[in-house]
């Protein structure tokens, strides 16, 4: 693949990603999209934020470019940089610049993890200017109507450093995601893993038990994603208790007392 | 091991008394005399198997090396001990006696050997039984996971619940092995939880069980009858809700032989529609029938305890709930106590919905704050719903219960809280915070004008120079890295050279980019220094010297740091001594304060940790460290000691961890291993044996922690 080549087709989502709406988030996102307002997804890990983005990209028939932010992610990682080939320098768009050019949806996952200098490029894109200024080439890209910016953020991790600045957050329409109610969560687990309804129901109960423990030794209860993992293990023949131990308990904690208690909880259900 | 000279120990045939006597005479020569022969011991040992004899001979040999007299005493007792105990327990018996010998000398050790019987019985019981102290922590988490109001676990004679606490025997020795006894604990806990969750006791009528039983000629029997019936109903509930657990229950209980009259009622009680009313109906119908054997996990019913706790809680929660509603209204800037009831309660739609009670305010769904939600859940658990009369917010005068609950003695007396910080304290017995329990003030250390710092630097001159070197190597630099394979910008120097290479026919080198290296060290560290009275003398000196060396090192490193001392006496006078704040440079004033650190009163650690991690949290840093220098357990004058102090400290550390503060403890308490892993975690403390080594060690520890 040649650098800088438009490859947005690769990011188009052909098949409908399975998504169960929790409320009116689909409508809200669509309206925000039509009004060219960026969207902020808030919610605990594993509750379906990324899946929602895939679903929306499919609905809106736009390519989805996802950037998982980490603490070493700089503005150049988003915008682009020069590469050197034999004899010349070549500018290569970063994922954000690419998304702006192609009118894709750019999704910055866990945006608080990124370095602070990234806000410099996000801000002009996230208000009504909708421009991306590429400092190194002097280019200014005006985002087409199809472009959308979305980012996710987990407010649960209470840390001063991991907080989103007001100047950033107040540019976005915010959608809050939580864990789905038990009936819905059961359906999701069934659908995603192919497990029988009874087992799915027990898994959802188990998740509720671990969520009761939040704040007293557990940072976070079991997410829907963990339940799907456990269910998948069960479908491929792992015993329920072993599946819960591997996919849920060990994923939640390293504390031996906590692990013992969580394992007892799963054993009492299965 | 010293086999006899005449044959190897591995032979299988038991030795004769003569052979043993000969061996003993040689081994215990120093302890024997004309009047004292080894014959009786040899005869007793001759009755054992060869394996036991070899075991005894091995240990006699070992002990004889320490003290022949002690070995002789052991030889006389060995046969009895080995008859009573297996080799493992016997070894424990011997080892404990030897420990006593090491610590206290011969006679106490002989006494420790003598009581074989007690020791054997205790060993047997310990191996088989389960202790609440061991399983309690896991059971508590388990219980909290189940659902409903948070129940405490406490030790008592019998297993029962008063709907706020589950009481369990301190040790269970009912079943044949430890594993089963642990399981019995668990099943008992779940059964008692089921009583509170599946409506055995209703908040509408706290006295119901007492009154009902009193109507019968034999109230005690009536209560047991009701208990047996409720157990049937609850077991069926558990079978539906927790099938895995129910399998264990079935495995544990004996089949109950019951009459046909019972059988009919049982099927009614086991149906999903059965409620506590059915158990009362059955009690009426079956009165006089013989009771089935109780299940081992069902505990007892204490109607009086339930009635008083339940009645009290229902009343308290009604007041608290109405008070909370009023507060919610005020926050929403509405007129309190509007003529029409402004709130309507939306009933939960299903049984599981008991966990999610919701309220409407003027027709709009209301997001309940977590504490109000917990309260609402507890009310629903007792009453089945939030009764309409609860939905009337308290009037202005009505919002008193919280004030009443505050222990008055905090506020009375000459002490007042102006300018002080109030902190909650964790009460592990209640499993709740005591609100605004500790009154904390920040004070300045009185500076001392001695040249302590200079003296210390002179004393540790060589070390200080070495420290400077090692810490310089650690120092992070905010530099641009050149010739990187990838980076944010082009390294033109490298590129020009590279092009020259390329033109002359060589390959273009790879490292052509500049990369902004991120600031390697972004650390804020808070030192929390124990200034309790027990640090007086060496410890205080060592602490101060350590801090001087640390400051020197940290100045090189450029890490932001602050130093605070803590002490105090009672919860009303918790004191934090400012030695160096984050904003202050390391100047002469700080040095004078370092020199002026003096032992004060007690060690109330929880509140100090809460305050200092709050200060630490106001600092922007990637890594935040809270390092405690301490000489012992948390301890204060007003009951803040033992488990209470440790649990509060642990809780404070958990809070700190939640806020992203890494806690680490450096202690010189030799008993630290008993409690520090529980408080700080196994890897987060260092125990220093010799306080004089503290200054040498501390910079090393810091380097490891942050390097």
pLDDT tens profile B552-609 = 888 877 788 899 999 888 888 888 999 998 888 888 888 888 888 888 888 899 999 9
pLDDT of amino acid A162: 58
Concatenated DSSP letters of B664-688: EEEE--TTHHHHHHHHH-TTSEEE-
Distance from CA of A252 to the nearest CA of B (A): 14
Q: Please tell me whether residues A167 and A229 are part of one structural domain.
A: no
Q: Searching chain B, which residue's CA lies closest to the CA of residue A265?
A: B142
Query: B490: which chain A residues are within 8 Å (Cβ-Cβ)?
Result: 82, 84, 89
Same domain for A202 and A169: no
A257 within a domain of the structure (yes/no): yes
Task: Say if A48 falls within a structural domain.
Answer: yes
Q: Assess if residue A19 is contained within a domain.
A: yes
Torsion on CA atoms B49, B55, B61, B62, rounded to nearest 10? -160
Q: What is the pLDDT of residue B400?
A: 41
- Say how many Å lie between the first and final Cα of chain B, rounded: 48
Q: Looking at the domain assignment, is residue A3 inside a domain?
A: no
Chain A CB contacts of B520 under 8 Å are none
The per-residue pLDDT for range A247-263, each reduced to its tens digit, is 999 999 888 888 999 99
Can you give the pLDDT at residue B396? 52
Distance from A13 to chain B by nearest Cα, in Å? 31
Q: How many CB pairs under 8 A join A and B?
A: 89
pLDDT of the residue at B263: 85
User: Which residues of chain A does B512 touch, with a Cβ-Cβ cutoff of 8 Å?
Assistant: 84
- Whether B414 shows a pLDDT value over 60: the answer reads no
A209: which chain B residues are within 8 Å (Cβ-Cβ)? Answer: 145-147
Closest Cβ opposite residue B622 in set A158, A161, A264: A161
Numbered residues of chain A with Cβ closer than 8 Å to any chain B Cβ: 72, 74, 76, 81-82, 84, 86-87, 89, 115, 136, 158-162, 182, 208-210, 212-213, 216-217, 219, 241, 257-258, 260-262, 264-270
Domain holding A53, by residue range, is 8-176
Query: Does B508 contact A86 at a Cβ distance shorter than 8 Å?
Result: yes
pLDDT given at position B333: 58
Whether B658 and A219 have beta carbons less than 8 Å apart is answered as yes
pLDDT tens by residue, B235-285: 999 999 898 888 888 888 877 777 788 888 888 888 888 888 888 988 888
The secondary structure of A128-193 as a DSSP string is TT-EEEETTTTEEEEPPTT-EEEEEE-TTS--STTPPPHHHHTTSEEEE--PPPHHHHHHHHHHHH
Domain-located, residue A247: yes
Total-model pTM? 0.61
Residues in chain B with CB shorter than 8 Å from the CB of A261 are: 138-142, 145
Would you say A161 and A169 are in contact if contact means Cβ atoms under 8 Å apart?
no
Chain B positions touching A265 (Cβ under 8 A) are 142, 145-146
User: Same domain for A131 and A34?
Assistant: yes
pLDDT (tens digit per residue) in A8-29: 677 888 899 999 898 899 999 9
Structural domain includes residue A18:
yes
CB pair distance less than 8 Å for B147 and A212: yes
For A264, the closest of B186, B489, B617 (CB atoms) is: B186
Among A161, A176, A191, the domain-final residue is A176
Boundary residue ending a domain (A133, A158, A176)? A176
Domain identity same for A171 and A192: no
Q: Do residues A219 and A265 share a domain? A: yes
Same domain for A72 and A56? yes
Look at residue B7 in the predicted model and tell me its pLDDT. Answer: 47
Residues of A within 8 A of B660 (CB-CB) are 158-162
A180: distance to nearest CA of chain B, Å? 13
Q: Enumerate the residues of chain A whose CB falls inside 8 A of the CB of residue B617.
A: 160
Q: CB neighbours of A259 closer than 8 A, spacing ≥ 6?
A: A249, A250, A253
pLDDT exceeds cutoff 50 at B5: no
In contact, B626 and B613? CB cutoff 8 Å:
yes
Note the pLDDT of residue A245: 92
Q: Is residue A140 domain-shared with residue A255, that is, in the same domain?
A: no
- On whether both A36 and A161 belong to a single domain, the answer is yes
Kind of pairing between the strands at B513-516 and B489-490: antiparallel
Do residue B139 and residue A261 have CB atoms under 8 angstroms apart? Answer: yes
Which residues in chain B have their CB less than 8 angstroms from residue A81's CB?
487-489
Model pLDDT, residue B421 = 85
- Tell me if A1 is assigned to some domain: no
Over 90: is that where the pLDDT of B695 sits?
Answer: no
Q: Is residue B408 very low, low, confident or very high in pLDDT (cuts 50, 70, 90)?
A: very low
Query: What is the domain partition of chain B in residue ranges?
Result: 17-128, 131-304, 312-403, 405-441, 479-518, 523-706
Q: Which residues 6+ apart lie within 8 Å of B166 measured at CB?
A: B143, B151, B152, B153, B154, B159, B160, B189, B192, B193
Of A81, A87, A216, nearest to B144 by CB-CB distance is: A216
Note the pLDDT of residue B478.
52
pLDDT in tens, A189-226: 999 999 999 999 999 999 999 988 887 778 788 999 99
Residues A260 and A241 in one domain: yes
Q: Domain check: are A187 and A159 in the same one?
A: no
Provide the number of structural domains found in chain A: 2
CATH number at residue A80: 3.40.50.300
Pick the CATH number of B523-706 from 3.20.20.70, 3.75.10.20, 3.40.50.410, 3.40.50.300: 3.40.50.410
Check CB contact under 8 Å for A212 and B146: yes
Q: A210 to chain B: which residues are within 8 Å by CB?
A: 145
**Cα B586 from Cα B475, distance rounded (Å):** 18
- How far does B66 lie from chain A, in Å, by closest CA? 41
* Judgement on whether residues A139 and A249 belong to the same structural domain of the protein: no
pLDDT tens digit string along B640-667? 888 888 889 999 998 988 888 888 888 8
> In terms of CA atoms, which chain A residue is nearest residue B242?
A269
A25 occurs within a structural domain: yes
In this complex, which of B186, B499, B620 lies closest to A160 when CB atoms are compared?
A: B620
Domain edge (last residue) among A176, A196, A221: A176
pLDDT in tens, A107-135: 999 888 887 778 888 999 998 899 998 88
Give the C-alpha separation, A117 to B481, whole Å: 18
Q: Give the mutation candidate from A248, A263, A268, A269 for the B interface (greatest B CB count, under 10 A).
A: A268
């Amino acid at each position: 693949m040649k650098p800088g080549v438009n490859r947005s087709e690769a990011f188009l989502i052909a098949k409908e990603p399975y998504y169960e709406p929790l409320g009116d988030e689909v409508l809200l996102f669509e309206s925000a999209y039509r009004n060219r307002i960026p969207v902020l997804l808030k919610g605990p890990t594993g509750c379906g934020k990324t899946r929602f983005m895939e679903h929306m990209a499919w609905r809106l028939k736009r390519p989805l470019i996802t950037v998982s932010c980490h603490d070493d992610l700089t503005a150049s990682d988003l915008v682009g940089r020069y590469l050197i080939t034999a004899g010349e320098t070549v500018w290569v768009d970063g994922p954000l610049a690419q998304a702006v050019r192609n009118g894709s949806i750019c999704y910055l996952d866990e945006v608080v993890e990124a370095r602070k200098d990234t806000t410099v490029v996000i801000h002009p894109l996230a208000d009504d200017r909708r421009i991306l200024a590429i400092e190194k080439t002097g280019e200014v890209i005006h985002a087409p109507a199809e472009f959308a910016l979305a980012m996710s953020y987990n407010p649960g991790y209470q840390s001063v450093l991991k907080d989103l600045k007001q100047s950033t957050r107040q540019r976005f329409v915010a959608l809050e995601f939580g864990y789905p109610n038990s009936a819905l969560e059961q359906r999701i687990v069934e659908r995603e893993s192919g497990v029988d309804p009874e087992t799915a129901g027990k898994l959802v109960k188990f998740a509720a038990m671990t969520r009761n423990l939040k704040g007293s030794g557990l940072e976070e209860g079991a997410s829907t994603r963990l339940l799907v993992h456990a269910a998948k293990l069960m479908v491929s023949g792992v015993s329920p208790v072993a599946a819960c131990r591997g996919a849920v308990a060990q994923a939640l904690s390293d504390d031996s007392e906590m692990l013992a208690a969580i394992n007892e909880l799963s054993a009492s259900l299965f | 091991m010293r086999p006899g000279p005449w044959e190897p120990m591995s032979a299988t045939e038991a030795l004769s008394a003569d052979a043993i006597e000969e061996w003993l005479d040689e081994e215990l020569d120093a302890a024997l005399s004309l009047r004292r022969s080894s014959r009786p011991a040899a005869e007793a040992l001759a009755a054992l198997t060869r394996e036991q004899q070899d075991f005894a001979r091995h240990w006699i040999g070992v002990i004889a090396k320490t003290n022949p007299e002690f070995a002789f005493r052991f030889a006389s007792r060995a046969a009895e001990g080995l008859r009573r105990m297996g080799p493992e327990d016997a070894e424990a018996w011997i080892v404990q006696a030897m420990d006593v010998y090491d610590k206290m000398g011969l006679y106490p050790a002989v006494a420790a050997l003598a009581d074989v019987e007690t020791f054997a019985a205790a060993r047997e019981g310990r191996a088989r039984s389960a202790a609440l102290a061991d399983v309690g922590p896991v059971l508590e988490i388990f219980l909290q996971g189940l659902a409903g109001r948070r129940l405490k676990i406490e030790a008592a004679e019998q297993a029962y619940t008063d709907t706020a606490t589950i009481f369990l025997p301190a040790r269970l020795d009912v079943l044949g092995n430890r594993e089963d006894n642990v399981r019995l604990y668990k099943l008992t806990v779940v059964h008692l939880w089921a009583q509170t969750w599946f409506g055995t006791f209703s908040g509408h009528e706290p006295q119901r069980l007492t009154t009902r039983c009193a109507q019968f000629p034999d109230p005690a029997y009536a209560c047991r009858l009701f208990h047996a019936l409720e157990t049937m109903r609850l077991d069926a509930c558990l079978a539906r809700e927790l099938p895995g657990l129910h399998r264990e229950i079935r495995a544990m209980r004996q089949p109950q032989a019951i009459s046909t009259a019972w059988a009919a009622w049982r099927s009614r009680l086991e149906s999903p529609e059965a409620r506590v009313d059915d158990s009362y109906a059955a009690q009426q119908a079956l009165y006089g029938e013989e009771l089935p054997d109780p299940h081992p996990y069902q505990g007892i019913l204490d109607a009086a305890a339930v009635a008083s706790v339940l009645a009290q809680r229902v009343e308290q929660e009604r007041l608290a709930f109405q008070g909370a509603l009023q507060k919610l209204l005020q926050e929403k800037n509405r007129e309190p106590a509007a003529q029409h009831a402004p709130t309507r309660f939306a009933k939960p739609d299903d049984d599981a919905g008991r966990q999610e009670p919701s309220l409407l305010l003027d027709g709009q769904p209301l997001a309940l704050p977590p504490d109000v939600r917990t309260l609402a859940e507890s009310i629903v658990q007792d009453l089945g719903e939030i009764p309409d009369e609860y939905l009337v917010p308290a009037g202005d005068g009505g919002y008193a219960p919280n004030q009443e609950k505050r222990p008055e003695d905090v506020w009375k007396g000459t002490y007042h809280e102006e300018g002080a910080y109030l902190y909650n304290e964790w009460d592990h017995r209640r499993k709740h915070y005591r609100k605004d329990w500790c009154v904390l003030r920040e004070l300045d250390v009185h500076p001392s004008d001695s040249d302590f710092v200079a003296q210390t630097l002179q004393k540790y001159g060589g070390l200080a120079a070495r420290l400077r070197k090692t810490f310089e190597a650690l120092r992070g630099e905010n530099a641009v890295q050149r010739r990187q394979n990838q980076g944010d910008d082009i390294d033109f120097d490298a590129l020009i050279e590279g092009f020259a290479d390329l033109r002359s026919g060589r390959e273009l080198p790879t490292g052509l980019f500049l990369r902004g290296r991120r600031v390697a060290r972004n650390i804020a560290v808070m030192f929390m220094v124990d200034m309790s009275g027990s640090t007086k003398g060496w410890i205080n000196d060592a602490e101060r010297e350590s801090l001087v060396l640390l400051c020197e090192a940290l100045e090189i490193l450029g890490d932001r740091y602050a130093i605070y001392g803590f002490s105090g006496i009672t919860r009303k006078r918790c004191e934090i001594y400012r030695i160096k704040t984050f904003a202050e440079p390391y100047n002469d004033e700080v040095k004078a304060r370092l020199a002026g650190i003096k032992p004060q009163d007690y060690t109330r650690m929880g509140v100090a940790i809460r305050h200092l991690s709050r200060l630490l949290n106001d600092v922007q840093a990637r890594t935040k460290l809270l390092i405690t220098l301490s000489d012992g357990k948390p301890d204060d004058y007003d009951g803040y000691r033992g488990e209470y102090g440790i649990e509060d400290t642990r809780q404070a550390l958990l809070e700190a961890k939640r806020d992203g503060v890494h806690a680490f403890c450096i202690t010189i308490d030799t008993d630290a291993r008993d409690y520090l892993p529980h408080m700080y975690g196994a890897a987060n403390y260092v125990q220093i044996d010799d306080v004089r080594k503290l200054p040498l060690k501390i910079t090393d520890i810091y380097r490891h922690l942050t390097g």
